[in-house]
């Protein structure tokens, strides 16, 4: 019998919960999963690959319950520890349509946070609405809507509802029916809706700007942002 190779263990602090987790580098098995997903334009296949790789390599972590930015952060850490921290890829300059080769240092990609970000939205003097981050499965559901589908914005809002609390009571949305939640949303004010939208607009995300010159000598910026950038 061939020997079993022991893999090193690393620790990482999840951005959302500040919880320390342990993970191992991915092996050839996981690399194949990501390569197959990278060759596909199917968002569902790419997300399934991410969940599988994170679940395989991280200990006591449920990939389906993590916020999207935690998963992005984990995936970059896994890639950096498993292969190297450099990724070379090509883009098309939007003005000249020339192919430009860029090299991304994964260690330079940081989680950006808005100092005004909060998961609390005041309903009135008695109640506060608490929001939660969408998971990868909810993100997948969002991608099934078209950009002009009015149901998309509504689903995004519904997916982030966690609980309503006063000084004496707590109401968790998971304990109520879809009709009851819909009725609650129909009764909230426009200011509450704006607060929910602000929650999404300021949500932590991985973002990195890469600078280059095109063949006209113009200074240009390419932004790496979002989980699908990993598969570019």
Summarize pLDDT for 186-212 with one digit per residue, the tens: 999 999 999 999 998 899 888 888 899
**How does strand 86-92 pair with strand 99-105?**
antiparallel
Are the C-beta atoms of 108 and 86 separated by less than 8 Å? no
Nearest to 111, CA basis, from 229, 192, 208: 208
HSE, CB side, 13 Å, CA atoms: give it for residue 13.
Answer: 4
Q: What are the pLDDT digits (tens) for 145-191?
A: 776 777 777 888 898 999 999 999 999 999 999 999 999 999 999 99
- The pTM score is 0.78
Distance CA 155, CA 60 (A): 29
Q: What is the dihedral of CA 222, 224, 225, 226, to 10 degrees?
A: 130
Q: What are the pLDDT digits (tens) for 59-81?
A: 988 888 888 889 888 888 888 88
Residue ranges per structural domain of the chain: 10-109+212-231, 120-201
Are the C-beta atoms of 201 and 183 separated by less than 8 Å? no
Q: Is 209 helix (H, G, I), strand (E, B) or coil?
A: strand
């Amino acid at each position: 019998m061939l020997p079993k190779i022991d893999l090193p263990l690393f620790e990482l602090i999840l951005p959302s919960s500040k919880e320390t987790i342990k993970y191992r580098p991915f092996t050839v098995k996981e690399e194949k999963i990501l390569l197959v997903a990278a060759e596909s334009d199917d968002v569902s296949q790419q997300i399934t690959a991410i969940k599988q790789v994170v679940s395989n390599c991280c200990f006591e972590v449920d990939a389906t319950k993590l916020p999207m930015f935690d998963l992005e952060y984990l995936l970059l850490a896994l890639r950096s520890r498993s292969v190297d921290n450099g990724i070379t890829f090509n883009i098309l300059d939007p003005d000249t349509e020339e192919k430009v080769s860029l090299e991304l240092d994964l260690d330079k990609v940081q989680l950006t946070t808005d100092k005004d970000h909060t998961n609390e939205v005041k309903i009135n003097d008695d109640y506060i609405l608490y929001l939660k981050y969408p998971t990868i499965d909810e993100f997948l559901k969002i991608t099934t809507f078209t950009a002009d589908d009015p149901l998309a914005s509504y689903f995004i809002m519904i997916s982030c509802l966690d609980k309503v609390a006063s000084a004496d009571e707590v109401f968790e949305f998971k304990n109520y029916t879809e009709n009851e939640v819909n009725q609650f949303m129909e009764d909230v004010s426009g200011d509450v809706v704006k607060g929910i939208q602000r929650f999404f607009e300021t949500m932590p995300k991985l973002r990195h700007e890469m600078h280059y010159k095109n063949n006209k000598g113009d200074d240009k910026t390419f932004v790496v942002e979002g989980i699908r950038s990993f598969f570019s």
